[in-house]
Structure 1
Amino acid sequence: MRVRLLLEEAWLPDGWARDVGLEIERGAISRVVPGAPADFGERRAGRAIPGMPNLHSHLFQRAMAGLAERRGPGADSFWSWRQVMYGFLSRLGPSDVESIAAQAMVEMLERGFTALAEFHYLHHAPDGAPHANSAEMAERIAAAAAETGMGLTLLPVLYTHGGFGPLPPDEGQRRFLNGTDGYLRLLEASRRAIAAIEDARLGVAPHSLRAVTGEQIAEVLAAVLDGPVHIHVAEQVAEVEACIAWSGQRPAERLLATQPVGPRWCVVHATHMTGGETRALAESGAVAGLCPITEANLGDGFFNATTYAGGWGVGSDSNVEITAPGELRLLEYGQRLLHRARNVLARGEGHSTGEDLYAAALAGGAQACGREIGRIAAGARADLVWLAPGVTLDDYVFVSGASGVREAMVAGRTVVAEGRHFARDAIRARFARTMARLSGG
């Protein structure tokens, strides 16, 4: 089916244009015509921009947002937060995960994200036993994507060990665990789980160098020759210190020295890197996966954004707050605080900081998702977000934020109109029932 739209104004790869004709076939843009005639197609008011890819998320964590904001007996950190997360996991069943995932996806779509790379590591039952269908949880993620219209890259996670060494896993990690052979079977089952979703993509995600060995990563890469590869690296100082104690190398240093890191890869967080590691990661062609809101919430630290010359994108990670422009705003504001300067990540004199941030995150997010998205151009999926007339990207990122989203389209289908997802009420009601049950209400 062919759809023809006339966009009042659109942000194309070479800048803003008016009266942009858009021809869409099978969910992808087949033709872009700036200055199109008034009868080109259905007129859409407002300013259209490419929808933002969300390159890193743990959907189930949306349900625990706010549960770890109470001070503990000692100094709170990522590691104390992780224990709260492990305790929360003990109550989640498959239907809960589907309900939570759908709610998070609705919020993503209403707040500027139109594609998701889901770093999916909740595989098993609460006691650690595999489900009869090893891809049960993956199917729940896929069902939520189909229900909400979210573009999906599914990244089943390989998680085997509890720390560098390798160390045995903790009891709280039992729902994540697979050996390499079991993981490869899970991948095939997950491929079937997303088969019915048009343009869905499957990738691999060795969780981290502390959760898998280098030999396991090599085995997976030998079996899976294409698609995205995502991994957590150097999020926490304690992780860096433990890696040095074990191997004599820092995590990013070791990853780059022992694995074929390249354009397929998304290195998530990469918060604690030396200048040499920062340069080497950029030169590899990999994407740095930045999650500024979660990194701030967990007290991780600042990414070396001012010295990093490679590709990057943003993700909502723990989903404590879901907002595409908010991730970009906090990335820039973090650098302003760190360097006591303004417009730090603009590419040069006279550049719009909002436009430069948005363009970089589009390119990096599309690469990390392994899909043709992030551009209003022929060949790209028709994933668009509409802002109010006259709203600039500086306004969207730094002022109005996600409240500025008026409409969103994924693969040519309108999923948000007048700021509301088409299935918001039903999905929110189901989520409320899920949360009431989980809290014992």
Structure 2
Amino acid sequence: MDLWFETALLPDGWATGVRIGVADGRIVSVERDASPGDARHAIGLPGLCNVHSHGFQRGMAGLSERRGRADDDFWSWREVMYAFLDRLTPDDIAAITALAYVEMLETGYTRVGEFHYLHNDIDGRRYADPAATAASIVAAADESGIGLTLLPVFYAHADFGGAPPTLGQRRFVSGIDGFARLAEASRTLLPHDATFGIAPHSLRATTADELAAILPLADGGPIHIHAAEQVKEVEACLAATGARPVEWLLANAAVDARWCLVHATHLTDAECDTLAASGAVAGLCPVTESNLGDGIFPAARYFAAGGTVATGTDSNIRIDAADELRTIEYAQRLTRRRRNVLADHAHPSIGARLFAGALAGGAQALGVEAGIAVGAPADLVALDADDPALVGRSGDALLDGWIFAGRDTVRHVWRGGRQVVADGRHVARDAIAARYRATLARLLA
């Protein structure tokens, strides 16, 4: 199969008349200044990686937007989440997650890192098949066509110091041996182009000894962990360990390029610079972080220090790749009361800088290749040249237009060489959305 783009973003920049040859799900040739074939498209981009998703939470989007207690924050939102997941079956998880993946593809994400922690049955006991809910994630990925990096979560405690889990956490909990069995069973479910890693949930849910014991289960794959998302978490970590979460990880966990520290919102200057130098990825989820009132990542300093970033949709309150990228910059503008904060002389285009950073960082965090290059997965996105935000633009201005002013700008998407979005709509949306609606109608009745 060949695809031809009037202009496309290649690893060394924009090119015209780009013909891409695809076979067995991968790019086998890239030609510039080629004559158009039958499959003509306007603007070609590589697909992005969504490094942090809790797929089932798509079903509770909007349910927590009512005043509860006077100090509503992440911790009160978490109680709503616990109540929602109490009734979910593996089939429910698959139905909800499939729609989340459809929406990711429709906005330009072609692979997802599923931070999967809903392992146990409704009564808290492990399913007879320890990978029963992991199978739901794999099924959702297969039905939607999205690429998958599965990240089963180790979650053992309610707080620092090995505090016992609460009733609301019963569906997450594992011991070390049980988690090893779960990880192995989950790994065997994966299709050939999926990747596998592990996710110690956070330092409050994992002791130092447990963290050391489970890290070998990654077997060279990605390691993701929530870190420093909320001020309360930072304060509790300081009280329990004498160090802040990111500070502790950098000093004790041999953090390197395989690691993705999700959120990393509350950093000192020293933590910010050391994390940037470690080669790890900061997995930013700015739409969810805004929704939960978490805080603002110090992106300007981190970028200046050469840090690597990626984006995730986390709670899936709203799924849109451009939204995530735009919100990174807008948060900096609001706090600094300036525009174009993340631009510099080497990177004058905000859109281009954000897209390039998320493309490279996302691929690193999920253990895959990225970009329109021979040997890479044929994960491709075509933008709509008729979108008013793109008219009359070329080069990096296309990315600025899409990210900051586009509306339904993604027109077509191919994942592993197979077209999964056509004319802005997922090819299986109707069936997947119908099952989602039936599932939510029952759950929320």
TM band (smaller chain):
over 0.9
Among 140, 143, 147, the residue aligned to 1:144: 140
CA separation in 2, counterparts of 1:127 and 1:367?
37
User: Is residue 438 from structure 1 mapped to residue 443 from structure 2 by the alignment?
Assistant: yes
Distance 1:69 1:173, change over 3 A: same
What secondary structure is seen at the aligned counterpart in 2 of 1:276? Answer: helix
Among 382, 388, 404, the residue aligned to 1:398: 404
The corresponding residue for 1:87 is: 83
8 Å Cα contact 2:198-2:217 kept in structure 1: no
**What are the residue-to-residue correspondences of 1:261-340 with 2, within 5 Å?**
261-308=255-302, 309-340=306-337
8 Å Cα contact 1:383-1:409 kept in structure 2: yes
8 Å Cα contact 2:383-2:412 kept in structure 1: yes
CA separation in 2, counterparts of 1:10 and 1:223?
39
CA separation in 2, counterparts of 1:337 and 1:393?
21
CA separation in 2, counterparts of 1:301 and 1:376?
35
The corresponding residue for 1:356 is: 353
CA separation in 1, counterparts of 2:122 and 2:11?
47
TM-aligned CA deviation for residue 185 of structure 1: 0.6
CA separation in 2, counterparts of 1:218 and 1:30?
41
**What are the residue-to-residue correspondences of 1:112-123 with 2, within 5 Å?**
112-123=108-119
Among 328, 334, 343, the residue aligned to 1:346: 343
The corresponding residue for 1:21 is: 19
TM-aligned CA deviation for residue 37 of structure 1: 3.0
Distance 1:408 1:223, change over 3 A: closer
TM-score, normalization: structure 2? 0.95
Among 222, 229, 237, the residue aligned to 1:235: 229
8 Å Cα contact 2:155-2:173 kept in structure 1: yes
CA separation in 2, counterparts of 1:61 and 1:388?
30
TM-aligned CA deviation for residue 349 of structure 1: 6.2
TM-aligned CA deviation for residue 295 of structure 1: 0.2
CA separation in 2, counterparts of 1:244 and 1:45?
54
TM-score, normalization: structure 1? 0.96
What secondary structure is seen at the aligned counterpart in 1 of 2:188? Answer: helix
For 2:365, the aligned partner's letter is A
The corresponding residue for 1:167 is: 163
8 Å Cα contact 2:347-2:353 kept in structure 1: no
The corresponding residue for 1:428 is: 433
For 2:91, the aligned partner's letter is S
8 Å Cα contact 2:196-2:218 kept in structure 1: no
TM-aligned CA deviation for residue 341 of structure 1: 1.0
What secondary structure is seen at the aligned counterpart in 2 of 1:193? Answer: coil
For 1:399, the aligned partner's letter is A
Distance 1:144 1:292, change over 3 A: same
Task: Identify unmatched segments of 5+ residues in structure 1.
Answer: none
User: Is residue 258 from structure 1 mapped to residue 252 from structure 2 by the alignment?
Assistant: yes
User: Is residue 44 from structure 1 mapped to residue 40 from structure 2 by the alignment?
Assistant: yes
8 Å Cα contact 1:9-1:16 kept in structure 2: yes
TM-aligned CA deviation for residue 18 of structure 1: 1.2
What secondary structure is seen at the aligned counterpart in 2 of 1:153? Answer: strand
Distance 1:325 1:185, change over 3 A: same
Percent identity for Structure 1 against Structure 2: 55
Q: Which moved further from structure 2: 66-75 or 117-126?
A: 66-75
| Matched residues, number | 432
Q: Which moved further from structure 2: 210-219 or 341-350?
A: 341-350
TM-aligned CA deviation for residue 410 of structure 1: 0.3
What secondary structure is seen at the aligned counterpart in 2 of 1:9? Answer: strand
The C-alpha deviation readout for 1:121-158, integer Å capped at 9, x for no partner, is 00011110111110000001001111110000000000
The corresponding residue for 2:239 is: 245
8 Å Cα contact 1:8-1:43 kept in structure 2: no
8 Å Cα contact 1:386-1:407 kept in structure 2: yes
- Tell me how large the CA RMSD over aligned residues is: 1.1
TM-aligned CA deviation for residue 42 of structure 1: 3.3
Runs of 4+ in 1 over 4 A off after TM superposition: none
CA separation in 2, counterparts of 1:109 and 1:226?
27
